Amino acid sequence: MAIDTSPGALPVRAPLAPVPGEPVLDVVIPVFNEEKDLGPCVRRLHEHLTRTFPYPFRITIADNASTDRTPEVAAWLAASVAGVRSTRLEEKGRGRALRTVWGDSEAPVLAYMDVDLSTDLNALLPLVAPLISGHSDLAIGTRLAPSSRVVRGAKREFISRAYNLLLRSSLSARFSDAQCGFKAIRREVAERLLPLVEDSGWFFDTELLVLAERAGLRIHEVPVDWVDDPDSTVHIARTAAEDLKGVWRVGRALAVGALPLDRLARPFGDDPRDRTALPGVPRGLARQLLGFCVVGVLSTLLYLLLYSAARTVAGPQLANAAALLLSAVANTAANRRLTFGVRGRDRAVRHQAQGLVVFAIGLALTSGSLAALAAAGGRPPHSTELAVLVTANLAATVLRFLLFRAWVFPERRATPAHTKDTLR
C-alpha cells in the first residue's frame, strides 16, 4: 500500500477507535441572543443523542457576544445537564465560534447545528456515521436533494438555489447546499483545513467546503427534512453581499494558486488503485494521458487561433514563435494542475522554465517544418501551413508528454513503511 509522506499530508482515513470516557462527538450550537430558544433546543438535542447515539457525546454552546440573558441560560444548562458545556466569545460570527470551539475540542468528530433545530434530528446519526467509520472527511445536510422535505417560503427557496447555482458556476462547486446549518467534520481534517479559512461569518461554511472539495477531500451529503424558522434574525441582504465578496476572494485565490491545498492531500489507503503498481506498468498513466490529450486539444486550438491572428501582421516564423510561446505557457499551467495534479505555487516558476525548454523543442520542430515547406518553393496557401503545423505539433506533443512526465512533473516516490520506521 502506498504511503503519502508529503509535508503536512493527512493520514490514511481509518475508522475511529473510541476512548472510554471521552466524547466521540462534539456538537456545537452557535447562539446570539437566543435566551428563549436555547434551553428547549439543548434539552431536546440532549434527549435525542442519549436515546439514539451509541457513543459518548458533548454539546457545546458557543455564545457569540449575546446582549440578553443567553450567557446565563447557557451557564445554567452547562451546570445542570450532563455532557453540556458553554463558552463565551466577545465577538460575533458563526465562523469565529466554530473555529474557536472546534480548535479546542478533543473529540474526533466535530459537528454544529443551528439553535432553532430546523433540521430533523433523525439525520444526525447518518450525518456523522461516515466520519466515524472512516468513509468521509466532512458531512453536510442538504435541503436541495430530491428526497429532502423542506418547508419554507418562496423567497428563501429562491435565494438558496440561486446561491448554490452561483457557487457551481463561479467556483465549480459540486456539493448541493452550502448554507444548511447542519455539518460535521473529522478533527484531523479540521486541524489542517481551518487555518486556511479566512471568513469568520456566514461565508465560513462555503469557504470550508470549497477548499475541502478542491483539495480532494470526501464530502458526504445527507438529505434532510427542514422547516424554516419564521423568527430567524439573519439579515439576508447583508449576508448575500458578504457571501459575494467571499466568492470573489476565494475564486481569485484559487485562480492564482495562492492556497496550499496540497497540505490536505489524503492517500487512498487500501483502495486497489493505490496499491503498489505492477513492474513495468506506470501508475496513473491512463488518467494522465486522458488529461494531457484534453489539454493538448484545447492548447492546439488556442495555438492555431493565435497563429492565424499573428499571421495577418507578421511572417510565418515570427507568428509561429509568438503563438507557440503563449500557448506553451498556458499548456504548462493547465497540465501542471489538471494532468499531473500539482497544486499551489511551490516550484511553479521552475515548472514554467522547464516547460519553456520543452517549448523550444516544439519550436524547433514546427519552425523546421515551415522552413522545409518554404524551401519546397512558391508561397503555400494558409491551409497548407496549418496542415504542416498540425502534423509537426503531433510529433512535438508525444515528446512533450514524455518530457513532462519524466522531467518536469516526475512522480514523487513514496517512502517505504520500513524506511519511515527506521528514520523515527
In the DSSP assignment, the letter for residue 292 is H
The CA distance from 111 to 388, in Å, is 60
In the DSSP assignment, the letter for residue 119 is B
Please answer whether residues 172 and 247 qualify as being in contact, where contact means their C-beta atoms are separated by less than 8 angstroms: no
The CA distance from 373 to 377, in Å, is 7
Question: 56 by DSSP, 3-state: which?
Answer: coil
Q: Would the CA dihedral through 228, 233, 236, 239 be positive or negative?
A: negative
Q: Would the CA dihedral through 86, 92, 96, 100 be positive or negative?
A: negative
Residue in the block written with cell 502534423 = 391
Q: Would the CA dihedral through 99, 100, 104, 105 be positive or negative?
A: negative
Please answer whether residues 182 and 201 qualify as being in contact, where contact means their C-beta atoms are separated by less than 8 angstroms: no
Please answer whether residues 31 and 294 qualify as being in contact, where contact means their C-beta atoms are separated by less than 8 angstroms: no
Q: How many CB atoms lie within 10 A of CB 129?
A: 17
205 is catalytic: yes
Give Cα 353 distance to the centre of its chain: 28
Q: How many CB atoms lie within 10 A of CB 228?
A: 15
Say which of 177, 205, 225, 243 is annotated catalytic.
205
Q: What are phi and psi of 283, to 5 degrees?
A: -80, 140
The CA distance from 367 to 169, in Å, is 40
**In whole angstroms, how far apart are CA 387 and each of 182, 235, 306, 314, 391?**
57, 60, 15, 19, 6
Give Cα 344 distance to the centre of its chain: 13
Q: Which residues are catalytic?
A: 205
